[in-house]
Amino acid sequence: MNSAKQQALVALISSPTIREASRKSGVAERTINEYMRTDPEFRKAYEENRQGIVREASERMANAFTSAVTTLTDITNDKEVNPSTRVRSATAILEYGLKLWETTDIIQRIMDIEARLDER
């Protein structure tokens, strides 16, 4: 990959838009779009980097989720905390727990359907 493509790739990964990546890298928007459309090596490098960023963010969110649930549980169980605050904390645990359960269930159902389709 030449240096212009490398600069465009680095800028694209760290920018919210192609326009911003163009400004940062000095590579024309049109050229970056062309790389994305026609250069499999560039596209693959972009996707791999993007997936890495998403994976890292997901891991950080999972760690924060555990801490948040612990905090809410501590508040819910603390008899010294205002009762209305304890109720809000318990409600949050129930609401978000239900959403998590529903989402997990839907994902599992989709995976089961995909597995059955793959068997055919």
Which of 63, 93, 112 is the last residue before a domain boundary?
Answer: 63
Q: 48 and 25 in one domain?
A: yes
Number of domains in the chain: 2
Q: 86 and 30 in one domain?
A: no
Whether 115 maps to a domain, the answer reads yes
Domain that holds residue 119: 78-120
Q: 56 and 87 in one domain?
A: no
Whether 70 maps to a domain, the answer reads no
Would you state the structure tokens that stand for residue 15, as one six-digit string? 């920018």
**Residue 11 confidence class, pLDDT cut points 50, 70, 90:** very high
In the predicted model, what is the mean pLDDT of residues 33-39? 94
What's the mean per-residue pLDDT of the chain?
92
Q: What's the CA gap between 97 and 90, in Å, rounded?
A: 10
**Confidence (pLDDT) at 63:** 87
63-89 tens-digit pLDDT: 898 899 999 999 999 999 999 999 999
Q: 2 and 34 in one domain?
A: yes
Q: What's the CA gap between 5 and 32, in Å, rounded?
A: 8
